[in-house]
Amino acid sequence: MKLQAVPSSFRRWGAVVCLLAVATAVSWVLEPHVSLTSQAMIYVLAVAIASYKLTWVESAVCAVGAVTALNFFFVPPRWTFEVENREHFIALASMLVVALVISRLASGLRRETEVARLNEHRARQLQTLAAELSALTSPQEVLMLGRAVLETAFTGPCALALANPAGELEQAEVLELAVRDGMRCCMKEGAVLGPGTGRWPGLEAWYLPLGEKGQIFGAACVRPAPANDEGGREHARALCALVAQTLWRLRLASSMQAAQSEAERQQLQSTFLAAISHDLRTPLAAIVAAATSLQTQRERLDAAGQARLLQSIVNEANYLSTMSDNTLQLVRLASPGQVLQRSWESMEEIVGAVLGRVRQHDPSHRICSRVPEGLPLVRADAVLLAQLLTNLLDNALKYSEGEVALSVNAVPGKLELCVKDRGPGIPEAEREAIFQPYVRGDRAGRHGTGLGLAVCRAIAHAHGGRLLLRSREDGGSCFCLQLPVEPQPTTPELP
């Protein structure tokens, strides 16, 4: 906010003339009924009104004009500037002093009121900015908000830019050359530059570093920057300090998060190594034993015995394949900077392909699917979604005896894929834990690594979706994948 808008110079002087003219006219009209003292009071009232609305110089000129007009129009001898009577001379001099004092006091009061109002407005602006900054999560949002607030406070144009940890301005090319140089210098000096600061007073804006020397997150350019506006400069400094604090908080949070995910990744890798070295041995030993029996004792085994051994090799090899797929996927998804190979995919086709594969291991055809036509496309990595669905179906077949229902539904803004079975269900206490890597339920059989659901949840999260476990009233489990549906492509790429 700027100090209260003052009328243009012409209008202000016009107001002085009008006030004097009105005071003269009123005194003239009332002359038959009032004394000279009352007429003087009417002029003093005009000076008081001028002092409240106009500057000190204008109200002082009004005071002098009031005394002169009273003398000219009403003090004998009238229509001259002369004063014959000493008493009249003293009255006019006193009136001049009183009028000047009133104008001085009134304009001082007005100025103080404006400063108090401005300070209150600035304090409120700082409070609001602090509250709004606390909800932001990215440096870009902080810059945008900071710039908007600076432009409201100073009318602008203002600019804010981030610096990388090496102290280089980011996206410097979008800034004017002069602004870029000013920002670089203020970051280098770690101090405010510009008019009234004693540093680079020739600049046409204030340049403020965001942060303290040694820990500077960027810089701000604030315009206009009058050299005598110390209050404005302090306010700009306070606003920039709030922005810098938020940038510091965000940088701290992101480095903490990076350290945490690195620790989690390392822990996952060591758990993975420990688990894989244990889990690989059992199926491999079973495969070697079955294959050796087939090789050495084929003649002595009947057809059923041979088929049993072959089936055991197929089962163990499938198990190994699923386990290594899941393990590799989990490690890949946990790696920092992992980018998905997303494209527009039809859920109908992914489900069709997965069902084709899973039904080969489901001779009793227990899976019944319901996928309506015309579902929206999803932007997804088809291989990962297929793996997620395979894991859910494998589990449903593994842990239940009856029918397994697979359904896909479009709900507002989402696509929901559910796999339901009538197995034993999952006890309340295990419901969250089973999504952790290498965690298996109490009632789980021998085959399994505890990785399937962890991979499913990681895949769902990587797509911006969720994997939920819902209980079923009549027993069994229901795993639901919810994927966000983005605005559909106008000319869809063929999946």
Q: Which residues bind ligand ADP (CB under 6 A)?
A: 391, 395-396, 399, 421, 423-424, 426, 434, 440-441, 444, 448-454, 477
- Minimum CB distance to ligand ADP, residue 494 (Å): 33
Three-state DSSP class for 140?
Answer: helix
Upper half-sphere CA count for residue 332 (Cβ side, 13 Å) = 13
Residues 6+ apart with CB under 8 A from 414: 465, 482, 483, 484, 485
- To the nearest whole angstrom, how small is the minimum distance from the Cβ of residue 273 to ligand ADP? 18
Min separation Cβ 340 and ligand ADP, Å: 21
Q: How many residues does the chain have?
A: 495
- Provide, rounded to whole angstroms, the least separation between the CB of residue 436 and ligand ADP: 9
39 or 449: whose CB is closer to ligand ADP? 449
Question: Between helices 86-133 and 139-154, what is the axis angle to 10°?
Answer: 170
* Distance of closest approach, residue 448 Cβ to ligand ADP, in angstroms: 3
User: Which residues does 304 contact at the CB level (< 8 Å), separation at least 6?
Assistant: none
Q: Which is nearer to ligand ADP, 243 or 434 (CB)?
A: 434
- Cβ distance to ligand ADP smaller for residue 197 or 449: 449
- H-type alpha helices, 342-451: 347-358, 382-399
How far apart CA 235 and CA 223 sit, in angstroms, is 13
The per-residue b/e assignment along 314-336, b for 16 or more CB within 10 angstroms, e otherwise, is ebbeebbebbebbbebbeebbee
C-beta of 49 vs 478, nearer to ligand ADP: 478
Indicate the residue among 92 and 469 with the shorter CB distance to ligand ADP.
Answer: 469
Give the three-class secondary structure for 447. Answer: coil
Closer CB to ligand ADP, 23 or 434, in the complex: 434
In the complex, least distance from residue 439 CB atom to ligand ADP, rounded to whole angstroms: 6
Burial-class residue 369 by CB neighbours within 10 Å (0-12, 13-18, 19+). middle
Q: Which residue is nearest to ligand ADP (CB)?
A: 441
